[in-house]
Amino acid sequence: MPSPKLRVATTSLAGCFGCHMSLLDIDERLSSLVELVEFDASPLTDLKTPVACDVGLIEGGLCNAENVRTLLLFRRECKVLVAVGACAITGGLPAQRNALDVRDCLESVYLTGVGLEGGTIPRDRELPLLLEKVHPIHDVVNVDYSLPGCPPSADAFWAFFEDIAAGRAPRLGHGLIRYD
């Protein structure tokens, strides 16, 4: 009897979806991947809420309250949680606002920037509240593995899936660890 497929959920928090694009860059290996895994909640399936998954891949860091809620949900529902890419691991590009005051940022973007007139800072209950600082995900939850890179290469994703599907602790070999 074939072993059951791994249930994999993915999400992008304060990220650019570049890591998801890189996952798709495994190209023809995608057909092998679907033999190994089944996607649960993910931008690839358009399902929003992960339920009882084996693996959760988190792209992006935490820049607002909704990011934190999503991350906590993934941590609760995924046996193995993986920080994917520079933003999940370090906060990345969004975290470069950490030296600035959030209000100053918003005022500069919506009120006082060059060419702006009569603007307002968006306030709507639909919009999640920004955090004072952008955080890597390990600031909030325990992370089991990290796939560094901006983005991690397709080969790094593939090595990760091969290991995890074989029941091995994922280990990125030579040339697969990149921070950029």
Residue 59 DSSP class: E
Q: Which part of the chain contacts another protein (CB under 8 A), choosing from 32-40, 41-49, 110-118, 172-180? A: 172-180
Q: Which of residues 34-93 bind another protein (CB under 8 A)?
A: 83, 86, 89-93
Q: Which part of the chain contacts another protein (CB under 8 A), choosing from 6-14, 35-43, 96-104, 115-123? A: 96-104
Q: Which is nearer to another protein, 7 or 91 (CB)?
A: 91
Distance in Å, CB of 76 to another protein, minimum = 21
- B/e letters for 55-82, b = 16+ CB within 10 Å, e = fewer, are bbbbbbbbbbeebbebbebbbebbebbb
State which H helix or E strand residue 95 sits in: none
The residues that bridge with 84 in the sheet, in sequence order, are 59, 147
Distance in Å, CB of 161 to another protein, minimum = 16
Binding of another protein by 177 (CB under 8 A): yes
| CA distance linking residue 149 with residue 147, whole number of Å | 7
Sole binder of another protein in the list 107, 138, 155, 162 (CB under 8 A): 138
| CA distance linking residue 10 with residue 58, whole number of Å | 6
State which H helix or E strand residue 64 sits in: strand 62-64
Interface residues with another protein (CB under 8 A)? 83, 86, 89-93, 95-96, 98-99, 133, 135-136, 138-139, 143, 145-148, 150, 171-172, 174, 177-180
